[in-house]
Chains A and B, each alone.
Chain A
Amino acid sequence: MMRRLASGVLPIYALLYLAFLYLPILFLPLFSFNDSKILAFPMSGFTTKWYAALGHETQLLNALGNSIIVGLFSTVFATAIGSLTARAITRYRFPLRRSSQALQMAPLVMPEVIVAVSLLIMFLSLGLSLSLFTVALAHVLVTIPYSISIMTSAFEQFDDSLEEAAIDLGEGEWGALRRVTLPVVAPGIVSSLLVGFTVSFDEFIMAFFLTGTEPTLPVYIWSQVRFPAKLPIVLALGTLLILASLALLLAAEYFRRRSLRLSAVQEGVPIA
């Protein structure tokens, strides 16, 4: 009975579950090619005019530029901070190791609105005016946990004796870091940069509360969702964004696996 359940029902359930996960999202691309402003069946006909219209929306293009700037800034800083933390917790034993790790992972599980309004209060109390910079500061915060977990697994695969060997062979600590450690964990760093960029690029709540007059792309989309006439353009934009996120994710996954493979090769090398 249990066996039949496992071999017959479970796979079907798992496939249905996948369908439930993917189906709603597929309506975005589907209706982005629909030649009508009404989003309902039956569909009217095939068109690419909504995609062509994207190029003329200057506000949209500005928002895209803003998102790219914020994404680059956030992911570079978060990856730097996350790499240092990950290196410390994988290599050294030190006081408060667990609690500093827990603190830095905490932004992942905090209600975003509460973090966002608290940051809003602090920024304005400090006399900072809201801008892309304040958004980026918040995005560094939400991106750090992702960077820490990716870099922790990259450093866990790294064999510390390689670095020690380099030092024994006359490299300084800095030289060993630059010529041995960094090249080996480089795929992990690239993966962290890509994931961090994706997280920042898609983030809405922080940007919604903390941006001034310059919207990021999700904030721009939010402002357009209320106008039915604009919906097909939002669908076209959304389709492109989903594709972009997917491309970034798959690239990140490729680099993450490469870092695992590299360390597998490394283990095969006899270090006597």
Chain B
Amino acid sequence: MGQGRVARGIALDRQARRGLMLTAPGTLYVALMVLGPAALAVAYSFWTQTYVTLDRTPTLANFREIATDPLYRTLILRSVIVAGLVTFLTVLLAYPVAYYIAFHVYRRKALWLLLVSIPFWTSYLLRVFSWKLVLGYNGVLNSALIWLGVIDKPLEWILFDVNAVVLTLTHAWAPFAILPIFVSLEKIDRSLLEAAKDLGEGPFRAFFRVVLPLSMPGVIGATLIIFIPTVGDYVTPALVGGSEGAMVANLIQVQFGKANNWPLGAALAICAMLCVTIAALAAAALLRFLGRRIR
């Protein structure tokens, strides 16, 4: 028995060494390329820059500027609100599709999943660009409606603004919502539904008390995977946001480009990241709470 334990200890040790060795390249690479730059960005955010000279005296000046200038606050707030709205709409619109594929498609599941995920593999830039063609005062949609005689003059609500940003992003993120929700729905033991039925639950109650709570992990996954990157989206506000739709990523880009104030840009990036983290944690906690509550 003692021998067996020793042999096992050695085997574990060998496994552990193998595992660590094989994951080392990836872990080191990602750590170097994510944690290293993040540490540098934090350092930069406490420095200041006048024209081309970098002053390395630590100061809170950048953060003070962000806290007091209403422009920065507006853009950060708008980014979080837009991302929240996009996430909510995407999950809400995608849930029935995921539900349909999981529970009502039997033989062509793979085909449906492929159809849903194909748009994701076309260039993100081009997908957003196609909305730039569709929307707008003289865009495809307005010109088509006028040509067909549906309207006399261009619709005003499809101008380039925050609404256009929300619409475009909701379109862009669709597959990210469908797939995780589908996976969690697919995992649900079908006999639970029969049990609910046998116990006298109507289909609606069975859905809200069995299916929805059990699919919460997928909803939470989709929420995080959409919300976090959307806060930092650059392309969509730049292409269809117009002057009123800019978000924090556009502001960060300006600091690293035209304005050439890297420390301020770094501070903005860090503030955005903090807001994202707090909002994402809050959203996940809320969804988990709701999932437990309705059960």
Cα–Cα distance between A80 and B239 once the two chains are bound (Å)? 36
> Which B residue sits closest to A209, measured CB to CB?
B256
B4 is an interface residue with CB less than 8 A from chain A: no
Cα–Cα distance between A96 and B228 once the two chains are bound (Å)? 25
Cα–Cα distance between A93 and B20 once the two chains are bound (Å)? 9
A18 is an interface residue with CB less than 8 A from chain B: yes
Instruction: Return the contact of B100 from the options A3, A10, A209 (Cβ within 8 A).
Output: A10
* Given A27-B140, A92-B22, A245 contacting B123 (CB threshold 8 A): yes
Can you list 10 A-B pairs, Cβ within 8 angstroms, ordered by A?
Answer: A18-B115, A27-B140, A31-B133, A40-B143, A85-B22, A97-B23, A104-B27, A111-B229, A121-B262, A202-B123
* Neighbouring A residues of B116 by C-beta, 8 Å: 18, 21
Give the interface segment out of B33-41, B69-77, B285-293.
B33-41
A22 is an interface residue with CB less than 8 A from chain B: yes
A25 is an interface residue with CB less than 8 A from chain B: yes
CB of A38, distance to nearest CB on chain B (Å): 8
Contact between chains at A28 and B130 (CB < 8 Å): yes
Q: How many residues on A have C-beta within 8 angstroms of the other chain's C-beta atoms?
A: 84
* Neighbouring A residues of B101 by C-beta, 8 Å: 14
Contact between chains at A10 and B104 (CB < 8 Å): yes
A118 is an interface residue with CB less than 8 A from chain B: yes
Cβ-closest 10 pairs across A and B: A111-B232, A94-B19, A2-B203, A118-B37, A40-B143, A92-B19, A88-B22, A202-B123, A113-B249, A122-B37
Q: Give the residue among A85, A87, A89, A97 with the most B Cβ atoms within 10 A.
A: A85
Contact between chains at A205 and B122 (CB < 8 Å): no
A196 is an interface residue with CB less than 8 A from chain B: no
Give the interface segment out of B10-18, B59-67, B183-191.
B10-18
Contact between chains at A122 and B36 (CB < 8 Å): yes
Q: How many residues on B have C-beta within 8 angstroms of the other chain's C-beta atoms?
A: 88
CB of B147, distance to nearest CB on chain A (Å): 4
Contact between chains at A81 and B29 (CB < 8 Å): yes
8 A Cβ contacts from A75-105 to B: 80-82, 84-85, 87-89, 91-97, 100-101, 103-104
B96 is an interface residue with CB less than 8 A from chain A: yes
* Given A10-B99, A14-B101, A205-B235, A245 contacting B121 (CB threshold 8 A): yes
8 A Cβ contacts from B69-127 to A: 93-94, 96-97, 99-101, 103-104, 112, 114-116, 118-119, 121-127
B219 is an interface residue with CB less than 8 A from chain A: no
* Neighbouring A residues of B96 by C-beta, 8 Å: 10, 13-14, 17
Contact between chains at B20 and A96 (CB < 8 Å): yes
Cα–Cα distance between A125 and B263 once the two chains are bound (Å)? 13
Cα–Cα distance between A40 and B104 once the two chains are bound (Å)? 40
Cα–Cα distance between A55 and B148 once the two chains are bound (Å)? 36
Instruction: Return the contact of B232 from the options A11, A82, A93, A112 (Cβ within 8 A).
Output: A112
8 A Cβ contacts from A1-38 to B: 1-3, 6-7, 10-11, 13-14, 17-18, 20-22, 24-25, 27-28, 31
- A residues lining the B interface (CB < 8 Å): 1-3, 6-7, 10-11, 13-14, 17-18, 20-22, 24-25, 27-28, 31, 39-42, 80-82, 84-85, 87-89, 91-97, 100-101, 103-104, 106-115, 117-122, 125, 137-138, 140-141, 144, 148, 198, 202, 204-205, 208-209, 218, 221-222, 225, 234, 238, 241-242, 245-246, 248-249, 253
Contact between chains at B33 and A113 (CB < 8 Å): no
> Which B residue sits closest to A241, measured CB to CB?
B123
Contact between chains at A21 and B234 (CB < 8 Å): no
* Neighbouring B residues of A6 by C-beta, 8 Å: 100, 103-104
> Which B residue sits closest to A28, measured CB to CB?
B130
Contact between chains at B204 and A39 (CB < 8 Å): no
* Given A111-B273, A138-B33, A204 contacting B104 (CB threshold 8 A): no
* Given A20-B171, A106-B30, A121 contacting B37 (CB threshold 8 A): yes
Contact between chains at B228 and A39 (CB < 8 Å): no
* Neighbouring A residues of B140 by C-beta, 8 Å: 27, 31, 39-41
> Which B residue sits closest to A92, measured CB to CB?
B19
* Neighbouring A residues of B41 by C-beta, 8 Å: 114, 117-118, 121
* Neighbouring B residues of A241 by C-beta, 8 Å: 122-123, 126
Contact between chains at A121 and B44 (CB < 8 Å): yes
B265 is an interface residue with CB less than 8 A from chain A: yes
CB of B92, distance to nearest CB on chain A (Å): 12
CB of A245, distance to nearest CB on chain B (Å): 5
CB of B164, distance to nearest CB on chain A (Å): 12
Q: Give the residue among B100, B204, B256 with the most A Cβ atoms within 10 A.
A: B100
